[in-house]
Amino acid sequence: MQPENLQKEIQEIKTRNKRVEGDKAWEVSWTRRGFIMMATYIIAGIWLTIIHDSLPWLKACVPAGGYIFSTLSLVALKKRWVERYNK
């Protein structure tokens, strides 16, 4: 393999790794979690209002809170799964 090609491949790998690291950071970021939580709250609140449910905006907290709770509990579950997978 020629040095020019090797340098090009190394640069491509570094670029890909940087993109993958950014994607991973986004997946676990509180910005993403907060956005999804708020979108869930708003959509649930609108739906509950449309169907004339009582206290729609209070009840919309349930799915939004459930989402945040699931993201917190999944961290521990993922850690255990990865440990078992790598054995």
Collect all residues with Cβ–Cβ distance below 8 Å to 54 and sequence separation of at least 6.
none
Enter the pTM of the model.
0.76
Nearest-Å Rg of the Cα atoms of the chain is 21
| Per-residue pLDDT tens over the stretch 54-74 | 999 999 999 999 999 988 888
**Helices marked H in the chain:** 3-27, 30-50, 56-59, 61-85
Stretch among 4-8, 43-47, 48-52 having the lowest mean pLDDT: 4-8
List the domain boundaries for the chain: 3-85
Collect all residues with Cβ–Cβ distance below 8 Å to 32 and sequence separation of at least 6.
26
45 CB neighbour count, 10 Å cutoff: 19
For the segment 32-55, the average pLDDT, to the nearest whole number, is 98
